[in-house]
């Protein structure tokens, strides 16, 4: 019934064919069934752009780095981490906030003039599902004392159920942190809606108390352990 064309989201995912191993993970996590993969034929994944809403969960879950997003690319987010932790990283509360809920909740806390620690540093993503584990490890290598990943409440995700994968991913990262001798509580996951400015302020106050419990020696040990892990992998 349309005039031969449709309007697609500006922020969509794109497959890099030469990197794709046809594992099918991207198709599994896509909340819109916008990705198809012929696993048996080992053909690269294909994305139906018109069906993609740009949550970025596929890019975060791809184990081969074969998916990128238009805007909110890996290099863009990594550079934001670098910039925010360039000076006195041990004093910062690094926060990944989803566009629709927690980032809006932070804005609501601001316009409501609620008091919360001024050392919170937010990185906006379209969905908490976009927060890849590589971003978290990179931030810890840069000296982040604590990291908060925040998004819509379970059952109220703007991208249907993408935050379920966030929850699973954070659980896996915490398990690896424990194995590497890093306190898992230094990585927190909180659900904050756009209307919960008070909750945002309360969460940031708790994050500040947690940050103060992290010593410079603990940060240095974390950085050393992750650098050693990176060197061994490389």
- Cα 172 from chain centroid (whole Å): 13
Contact 95/123 with Cβ under 8 angstroms? Answer: yes
pLDDT at residue 1, as a whole number: 59
Contact 42/20 with Cβ under 8 angstroms? Answer: no
The answer, as to whether pTM is greater than 0.85, is: yes
Contact 225/186 with Cβ under 8 angstroms? Answer: no
Tokens of 174: 């915490």
Question: Average pLDDT by consecutive 10-residue portion of the chain (234 residues)?
Answer: 71 96 97 96 94 96 96 96 98 98 97 96 97 98 98 96 98 97 98 97 98 98 92 71
Tokens of 32: 């819109």
Tokens of 230: 């990176």
What is the DSSP secondary structure assignment for residue 39, as one 8-state letter?
Answer: T
Length in residues, the chain: 234
CA distance 186 to 176: 13
Rounded to 5°, angle at Cα 60 from 122 and 70: 75
Burial class (CB in 10 A: 0-12, 13-18, 19+), 127: buried
Strand partners, 47: 35
Residue keyed to tokens 């971003």: 135
pLDDT at residue 232, as a whole number: 75
pLDDT at residue 234, as a whole number: 62
CA distance 67 to 74: 10
For 191, the enclosing helix (H) or strand (E) is: strand 187-191
Contact 125/55 with Cβ under 8 angstroms? Answer: no
pLDDT (tens digit per residue) in 37-70: 999 999 999 999 999 999 999 999 999 999 999 9
Residue 88 Ramachandran class (φ > 0 left, ψ -120 to 50 alpha, else beta): left
pLDDT (tens digit per residue) in 125-138: 999 999 999 999 99
């Amino acid at each position: 019934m349309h005039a031969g064309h449709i309007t697609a989201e500006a922020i969509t995912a794109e497959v890099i064919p030469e990197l794709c191993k046809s594992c099918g993970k991207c198709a599994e996590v896509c909340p819109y069934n916008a990705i198809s993969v012929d696993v048996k034929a080992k053909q690269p994944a294909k994305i139906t752009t018109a069906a993609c809403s740009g949550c970025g969960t596929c890019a975060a879950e791809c184990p081969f780095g074969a998916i990128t997003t238009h805007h909110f690319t890996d290099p863009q987010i990594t550079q934001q981490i670098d910039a925010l932790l360039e000076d006195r990283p041990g004093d910062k509360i690094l926060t990944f906030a989803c566009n629709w809920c927690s980032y809006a909740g932070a804005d609501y806390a601001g316009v409501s003039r609620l008091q919360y620690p001024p050392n919170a540093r937010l990185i906006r993503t379209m969905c908490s599902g976009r927060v890849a584990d590589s971003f978290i490890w990179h931030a810890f290598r840069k000296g982040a004392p604590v990291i908060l990943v925040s998004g819509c409440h379970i059952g109220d995700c703007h991208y249907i159920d993408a935050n379920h994968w966030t929850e699973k991913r954070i659980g896996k990262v915490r398990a690896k942190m424990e194995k590497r001798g890093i306190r898992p509580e230094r990585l927190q996951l909180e659900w904050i809606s756009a209307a919960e400015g008070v909750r945002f302020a309360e969460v940031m106050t708790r994050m500040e108390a947690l940050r103060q419990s992290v010593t410079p020696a603990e940060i240095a040990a974390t950085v050393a352990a992750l650098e050693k892990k990176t060197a061994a992998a490389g």
